[in-house]
Amino acid sequence: MLIRHRRSWELPESAATEESVFWNRRRVLQAAGMGGVLLAGGWSGGALAQESILGSGLYPAERNPAYTLDRPLTAEALATTYNNFFEFGSQKNIHKRAQDLVVSPWDIQITGDVEIPQTLSFDDLLKRVDLEERLYRHRCVETWSMAVPWTGFPLKALVDMAAPLSGAKYLRMETFHDPEMAVGQKAGWYPWPYVEGLTIEEATNEMAFLVTGVYGKPLPKQMGAPLRLAVPWKYGFKSIKSIVKFEFTSQRPRSFWQATGPREYGFWANVNPAVPHRRWSQATEKLLGSDERIPTLLYNGYAEQVAHLYKGLEKEPLYM
Ligand SMILES: Nc1nc2c(c(=O)[nH]1)N[C@H]1C(S)=C(S)[C@@H](COP(=O)(O)O)O[C@H]1N2
Ligand SMILES: [Mo]
C-alpha cells in the first residue's frame, strides 16, 4: 500500500469526469442524425470534416466503477505531451507534429478468419458500441508509468461484431501507413506499419479495451486518435495506436518491436518486475510527473483479471 501526500501535479480521481454532465445516449444519436443531414446539405470541409460529429457528443462517458486505481491520475497536461508515437518521431515531445494526423475520414477494416468481414468508418463503429470510462494504469517498458481515465469499449465487442471462425487463434492489429503524413515513417530502418497482436483469449478478456477518448474528451492525435488499444497488464508498446486494421488469423503475429529488436521484445510482453529487460531492471517505475520510483506490480496489478490466461504457458517468454 502506498500512502503519500498529494503533489501539485496530481489530480484526484474525481477530477477526471464530471459524472453529472454526461449525455443521454439517445439524444446524442439524434444529434448525430441531424449532423448527417447538415453534411449532406453541403456543410463538409474545414473544421467539421476533421471532427467526428457523432464523437463530439459522447464525452464524457459514464465511469465504470469496477476499475479503480492505487495511485493518483496523471495530470492531463503531462499525459498529452509526453508520448511514444514513433510515426511522428522517436522523441517524447511529438504532440505538435502528431497534429498532422488526419483522423477523418477513418476507415477500419475487419478481416481474416471471420464470418463477417467488413470495412466501416470510425463514426459507424461508434454507433455500434457503448462507451464507458475506465481508470487504468499504463506501464511503459522504458519504466515510466501513468494512470489515465480512458474512454472506450471492450475489445470483445469488436471481436463479437466480426464473429471469428474456429481457426482464428490471434488478432493482429495494424496502424496506418502514410509517410507523407507521418514523418517518422520516413525512417526506413523501422518495419512500418506498426503491428501488434493478442491471442483471442486475451482480446476477449474484460481488461482489453479499445480507446476512443481520454480525460472525458475525444482522444488527442498524439495519444493514437481515433482508435487505440489499452491492454494495461502488458508493457505499453502492446497498446497500439491509430488502428486501421483488425485481422483474425491462425498465425501468431510478429509485432513492430519484435521485428525491430527480437532479442529484447517478444509477443507476450506481460509486466513482471522480477524479469529484467535485457538492458535494465523492471523492478520499479517512475510515475509521470513524480521524481520518486515505486515498485512495479506483477501484470501491472491486474493479475486477478489476467493471470489465468497464462496457465500452462510457463515455458514461453511471457515477460518480454
Ligand atoms: N502506432 C503506435 N502505437 C504505439 C506506439 C507507437 O510508437 N506507435 N508506442 C507505444 C508505446 S511504447 C507506448 S508506452 C504507448 C504510449 O502511449 P501514450 O503516448 O498515449 O502514453 O503507445 C504505444 N503504442
Ligand atoms: Mo512504451
The CA distance from 58 to 130, in Å, is: 10
Rounded average pLDDT over 167-178: 98
Q: Quote the DSSP letter at residue 94.
A: -
Residue in 81, 85, 221 to alter for ligand 1 test, most ligand atoms within 8 A of Cβ = 85
Diameter over CA atoms, the chain: 60
Q: Report pLDDT for 15.
A: 42
All residues at 6 or more sequence positions from 157 whose CB lies less than 8 Å from its CB, including other chains = 128, 129, 210
Give me the CATH code for the 15-308 domain, please.
3.90.420.10
Residue in 76, 81, 84, 212 to alter for ligand 1 test, most ligand atoms within 8 A of Cβ = 84
Q: Report pLDDT for 277.
A: 98
| Ligand 1 centre distance from Cα of residue 90 (Å) | 11
State whether residue 52 is helix, strand or coil: coil
pLDDT at 36 over 60: no
Find the ligand nearest to 238 CA. 1
What residue segments make up the domains of the chain, in order of their start? 15-308
Q: Report pLDDT for 57.
A: 87
- Kindly list the protein residues whose Cβ atom lies closer than 6 A to any atom of ligand 1: 83-87, 140, 175, 194, 223-224, 236-237, 239-242
Overall size of the chain counted in residues: 320
pLDDT at 10 over 50: no
Can you list the positions of beta strands (E) in the chain?
107-112, 118-121, 132-139, 144-154, 170-175, 195-199, 209-214, 217-218, 228-230, 243-249, 284-287, 293-295
CA angle, 197 then 198 then 200, to 5°: 135
Q: Report pLDDT for 190.
A: 97
Find the ligand nearest to 182 CA. 1
**For the whole model, what pTM was predicted?**
0.86
Joined together, the cell numbers standing for residue 181 give: 503524413
Atom 15 of ligand 1: nearest residue by CA position: 236
User: Of 176, 195, 185, 190, which is closest to residue 94 (Cα–Cα)?
Assistant: 185
| Ligand 1 centre distance from Cα of residue 140 (Å) | 9
The CA distance from 8 to 228, in Å, is: 29
Q: Report pLDDT for 313.
A: 98
Between 2-11, 46-55, 229-238, the lowest mean confidence (pLDDT) is in 2-11
Rounded average pLDDT over 52-77: 90
Which atom of ligand 1 is nearest the CA belonging to 82? 19
Amino acid at 235: Y
Q: What band does 54 get if pLDDT is binned at 50, 70 and 90? A: low
pLDDT at 290 over 70: yes
| Ligand 2 centre distance from Cα of residue 85 (Å) | 9
Rg (CA), the chain: 19
Q: Which residues pair with 217 in a beta bridge?
A: 214
Can you list the positions of beta strands (E) in 140-201?
144-154, 170-175, 195-199
The CA distance from 63 to 135, in Å, is: 8
Atom 24 of ligand 1: nearest residue by CA position: 240
Which atom of ligand 1 is nearest the CA belonging to 83? 19
